[in-house]
Structure 1
Amino acid sequence: MSVSPVLDTPGAVRPARTWRLGSRLDDGGAALFVSKPFEPIAAALGVIALVVLAVLFARSAGLIAALWGAGGLAVGVWLRRDRGRTWDLCFAALLTMAIAVAEILVGNGFEQTVLFTAANMLEIVLAVGLARRFGDGLNLTTINGVMRFLATAVLLAPLPSAVLAAAGLGVLQGADVATTFLTWWLGHALSIAGVGGLILGLSRPEALRLRPPARALEAAVLLSLVGLLFYSIFSPWVAPVGVLSAPLALLVAVRLRFIGMSAAIILITTFAVGGSMQGHGPYAALFDGPGRAVMAQVLALVGYLPILIVVAVLEERDGLTRKAKAAQLRAERASDGKSRLLANVSHEIKSPIAGVIGIGELWREGKLGTTTETQVEMAEMLVKTARQIETLAYDLLDVARAEAGAVSVDLKPVDVPALLEDIRRSAILHPESQGMRIEIQPVSTRQVVTADSVRLNQVLSNFVSNGLKYGRSGGVVRLKAGSRADGWVRIEVTDRGPGLSEAKQAELFEPFNRLGMERSTVEGHGIGLALAKRLVELQGGRIGVDSREGHGATFWVELPAA
């Protein structure tokens, strides 16, 4: 008897840690084994039943056992428990006795019983040890977890036992070593992937996925279709419907995920290998008895086992989507809290600052009593500082409103050249404009955009103000507007200052980020550009900057032409 296909793939296992065979010296494993014996005893009885059925079916077909679920059952149950070395030893002893009893029940002699028991236990122990050591925590909902499980426990673990069984049967019975090796290896690999994967997939979240009546009915219908399809292909009638197998398997993977796909692979393997061993199906006329079984095993292993990777891709995508939505929700809540805080802070600042400004102006004008020149100067500094704080309060309030979506915009046609001229006239009255030229580059045609004139003026005035403050070394700030071929109008404000590096450009529109200028003599709070970005976006436009260090900077806004 040898080997094993049977079912396919891992389901959704979610152990909390990476397991290793004998990861703890003792944690009461023996006592636990005795006090809760149902699962290990049920597994042992299941192993006996599967061994007997596989061997009897193989003998009725005149072949070695190519359908084999016992190894997968043992590996799946074992991997669901991590109770320490004592529990592992007790369960291993129970499995050894179960396999030996099954071999005796089917009439095998002493040599065959020892050979098959040793080969099966070698495979089971290797599969458990490799899965715990390299299985990525046995998380079969990730691509990495599934790939490691398939590579180690499924494909690598049965190889030594296949070599042992093939060599032993060659000596004891003169069996063909190559055929026996392939049948054992492929069959047991399918068993661990299918039966073991199904057991590992029977976790509570996976079971709950099929709990609603509609989903349970859908699962029953899809799996019934899989069974009928492969029975038709590998029956005496050999129905030519094989072209439907791959789409149906993919549909099962998408809709039912690990549990459904594992059950589907069990059905596929059972009908394909079982029908081929009985001389039915597309391989009957092309191969002899052992060759038919091997080809059916290859079909199940190569044709449908990789679909488990598709399931893992879907599960990982869903997991990332859930994490992204949760992170987005947290970010939105944090943003709402920040906006409320900014609004409250700005509101609380405005009233006392207005009082400070009033007192400072009265003091500066001498209405609170006789003042000296020094006191007048101090009063002017007080008023100037208070007005800066007042401006900051209004900016904070605007930022909070913009982020909360509470800023309304009145979109109308706006004459761009006229707006630029208004901004220029206002800017030349500012103290920062002393010694600077503010120019408007002439345009050949009249530019009109759809925008809120007040908010657009606020954005462009901020650009000009920054150009006057940070671009003084160039001596000029130039305003320009031009139409684009795609129906947009681009408005630019250019200075000849020191420019910006790529790293600083990436941080330019972040609130309260002054790009290292907070220690300079240039006044500012670092929220003007962040507010400008939100205002432009509310008007349906785009904003950006083009700059190189040492070559000035061009801030631009693009808005749809009216």
Structure 2
Amino acid sequence: MTAQVPSRPAYTAQRESGGLKSLTPMLTAVFVALLTIVAVQTARSVDLIVALWLANAVAAGMWLKTGRGLAHDFSFGALMTMGVLAGEFLAGNDTSTSLIFTAANMIEIIGAVLLARRFSPSLILSGVDGTVRFVMATAILAPIPAALLASIAMIMVRDAPFLISFQTWWFGHALGLATVTPLILAIDRTSLIVFRDPWRAAEAVLLFGLLAAAAYFAYFYLPVPALFLVVPILIVIAVRMRITGISLALVFVSICSIAAILGGYGPPAFDDVPVSERILLAQLNLLFGCLPIMLVASLLQERDRFSARAKAGQLRAEQASEAKSRLLANVAHEIKSPVGGVIGIGDLWSSGQLGPVTTTQKEMADMLVKTARQVEALAHDLLDVARAESGTVKVELRPTDVTGVLEDVRRSTALRPEAEHLRLSVVCEGDGLVVLADSQRLVQIIDNLATNAVKYGGAGGVILFRASPISDGVRIEVTDRGPGLSEAKQAQLFEPFNRLGLERTTVEGHGIGLALAKRMVELMGGSIGVTSKPGEGATFWIELPAP
């Protein structure tokens, strides 16, 4: 007998997830402190000003990513203040310098968060416009007040040069905010799941390996400036790995570039140039030479988003079309059986096989049969529409004599009571007018066009069937002299169940015939259309290929 292990309550997993989420601000504060220590200890270039500052970018990115709200902002801001201040103290700065830099950094972090929420509220960098607004607001504008405060303080405390201090702070912090913050915002489950594919993971390793080699030669080895080695690889990374990949690559390149200068590497021609000026040149190269490559990734990511949206819309449309086709087919099948019974009973009643009938009863029986046959024809049309839309209609293409088809349709049309006073004629220009078509379907299509011409254009007294050769086949026309069609109505003519406002007239119809004709013609590799002007009749044409 085995004891059952009680299952964990559902809220346990939720509580663990919530606990991990609540640890995120504290872990971020610790990481910010570590980045502060590393930067202060290794990346100072102008007195106490650091050439590449990533701590604020991490703080701003995690602040934006983890949520919003008054309580969240106060608690997160307090933790970031503690992290920056602890890092400044542990890096060896005195109390006044630590307080000044902490205040300046918090102004920058808060400014970056507020500006990002104001100018890029979606925080989705999958479009050129959104990326430009985010970078301009968060990376370019946010560091300016902090750079002013820190530079003025450095003049007062250490008599440091204002302009160089301001430029180094502004560009060094802007570089971090422009690369690390987008990286944090871009990383999600969707961006990482692609690397489950071994080929994509191997591609990423290869690209970053090439980038590391190019960065080594460009910044640490070659005696001449060689940014051209890095840029092509950055472009490839942007194309293949989008925002996540290019942001990570730009962080890596920025670290390599600044580290090479501070380590004394680089072209010998710059040996006499002060480090502060070399740092400024490197920052500008990265900001204006490499950072714009992020726009390539943004543009491609925006295209991916639109493409995914279009595919989803197409899938929904296809599913809706399939559902409609199934419904039409089911309705048609359900109609056919009882209608067949009604026709049989009506015929028996009309012929007197169910007993003697009066003249009135015979007329009623004939009317019943006529109406039932119309419903039966509608059911067949519905089935054809459903099959055409689902692609299950079979067409047997073989050489078909157009002249014979037109003559057959003309004769059958002439037998209709409503065509009694119409003049029907066939004109065939040239001999050997043969097309590759399903003859039965072609008769059905032209008969449908002739029926419409009789219904809607019979007042003109003439219906003309014409066939003429074209470059790659035969053009068939059915022309009437009726009231014609406006351009607006022509645009809706081949839509299923659209009768162009004739629903409440005495003209019978269901708006299926032309839509079905269009699908049949397309299945046979042809095209169909109409030429008409109000008051000048209408010419419906079909173009089919020659065998």
TM-score, L = length of structure 1: 0.86
Shift in Å at residue 349 of structure 1?
1.9
Larger CA deviation: 389-398 vs 200-209: 200-209
Change (3 A) 1:58 1:335: closer
The answer for the alignment partner of 1:328 in structure 2 is: 314
The answer for the alignment partner of 2:280 in structure 1 is: 294
Larger CA deviation: 42-51 vs 389-398: 42-51
The answer for the alignment partner of 2:231 in structure 1 is: 246
The answer for the alignment partner of 1:317 in structure 2 is: 303
Shift in Å at residue 79 of structure 1?
1.7
Given the alignment, which residue of 542, 552, 555 partners 2:527?
Answer: 542
Shift in Å at residue 195 of structure 1?
1.9
Shift in Å at residue 111 of structure 1?
4.3
How many pairs were matched up?
530
Shift in Å at residue 126 of structure 1?
1.1
Shift in Å at residue 174 of structure 1?
4.1
Given the alignment, which residue of 193, 196, 201 partners 1:208?
Answer: 193
Larger CA deviation: 350-359 vs 167-176: 167-176
2:459 counterpart of 1:473: yes
Provide the rounded CA distance (Å) in 2 between the counterparts of 1:238 and 1:286.
14
The answer for the alignment partner of 1:78 in structure 2 is: 63
Given the alignment, which residue of 363, 372, 376 partners 1:390?
Answer: 376
Larger CA deviation: 57-66 vs 158-167: 57-66
Given the alignment, which residue of 492, 501, 509 partners 2:494?
Answer: 509
Shift in Å at residue 235 of structure 1?
1.5
Q: Does the 8 A contact of 1:223 with 1:263 survive in 2?
A: no
The answer for the alignment partner of 1:304 in structure 2 is: 290
Given the alignment, which residue of 110, 113, 130 partners 1:125?
Answer: 110
Q: Does the 8 A contact of 1:499 with 1:548 survive in 2?
A: yes
Partner secondary structure for residue 549 of structure 1: coil
Change (3 A) 1:214 1:361: closer
Given the alignment, which residue of 389, 394, 404 partners 1:418?
Answer: 404
Q: Does the 8 A contact of 1:257 with 1:311 survive in 2?
A: yes
Q: Does the 8 A contact of 1:223 with 1:260 survive in 2?
A: no
The answer for the alignment partner of 2:540 in structure 1 is: 555
Given the alignment, which residue of 234, 242, 248 partners 1:257?
Answer: 242
Provide the rounded CA distance (Å) in 1 between the counterparts of 2:288 and 2:470.
56
Given the alignment, which residue of 204, 212, 227 partners 1:219?
Answer: 204
The one-character-per-residue Cα deviations of 1:126-160 (angstroms, maximum 9, x if unpaired) are 11122233323222344454333223222222222
Provide the rounded CA distance (Å) in 1 between the counterparts of 2:93 and 2:463.
97
Provide the rounded CA distance (Å) in 2 between the counterparts of 1:376 and 1:229.
96
The answer for the alignment partner of 1:267 in structure 2 is: 252
Name the amino acid aligned to 2:152: A
Larger CA deviation: 52-61 vs 154-163: 52-61
Provide the rounded CA distance (Å) in 2 between the counterparts of 1:46 and 1:150.
23
Shift in Å at residue 269 of structure 1?
0.7
Name the amino acid aligned to 1:509: F
* Aligned pairs for 1:419-498 within 5 A: 419-485=405-471, 487-498=472-483
Q: Comparing both chains, which one has the higher relative contact order based on Cα–Cα distances under 8 Å and sequence gaps of 6 or more?
A: 1
The answer for the alignment partner of 1:372 in structure 2 is: 358
Change (3 A) 1:432 1:296: farther
Given the alignment, which residue of 154, 164, 178 partners 1:179?
Answer: 164
Provide the rounded CA distance (Å) in 1 between the counterparts of 2:453 and 2:198.
67
Shift in Å at residue 302 of structure 1?
2.0
Name the amino acid aligned to 1:305: L
* Aligned pairs for 1:37-56 within 5 A: 38-56=23-41
The answer for the alignment partner of 1:408 in structure 2 is: 394
Change (3 A) 1:463 1:233: same
Q: Does the 8 A contact of 2:430 with 2:468 survive in 1?
A: no
Provide the rounded CA distance (Å) in 2 between the counterparts of 1:510 and 1:64.
70
Change (3 A) 1:266 1:348: same
Q: Does the 8 A contact of 2:332 with 2:379 survive in 1?
A: yes
Q: Does the 8 A contact of 2:428 with 2:468 survive in 1?
A: no
2:132 counterpart of 1:159: no
Change (3 A) 1:555 1:159: farther
Change (3 A) 1:276 1:437: farther
Shift in Å at residue 466 of structure 1?
0.4
Change (3 A) 1:213 1:540: closer
Q: Does the 8 A contact of 2:243 with 2:301 survive in 1?
A: no
Larger CA deviation: 468-477 vs 93-102: 93-102
Name the amino acid aligned to 1:323: R
Q: Does the 8 A contact of 2:526 with 2:544 survive in 1?
A: yes
Shift in Å at residue 165 of structure 1?
2.6
Provide the rounded CA distance (Å) in 2 between the counterparts of 1:407 and 1:145.
48
Change (3 A) 1:286 1:137: farther
Provide the rounded CA distance (Å) in 1 between the counterparts of 2:284 and 2:377.
75
Partner secondary structure for residue 254 of structure 2: helix
Q: Does the 8 A contact of 1:61 with 1:278 survive in 2?
A: no
Change (3 A) 1:102 1:478: same
Unaligned runs of 5+ in 2: 1-16
The answer for the alignment partner of 1:90 in structure 2 is: 75
Q: Which of the pair is proportionally richer in helix?
A: 2
2:137 counterpart of 1:148: no
Root-mean-square deviation (CA, aligned residues, Å) is 2.7
Provide the rounded CA distance (Å) in 1 between the counterparts of 2:497 and 2:540.
18
Change (3 A) 1:54 1:442: same
TM-score, L = length of structure 2: 0.89
Name the amino acid aligned to 1:473: A
The answer for the alignment partner of 2:10 in structure 1 is: none
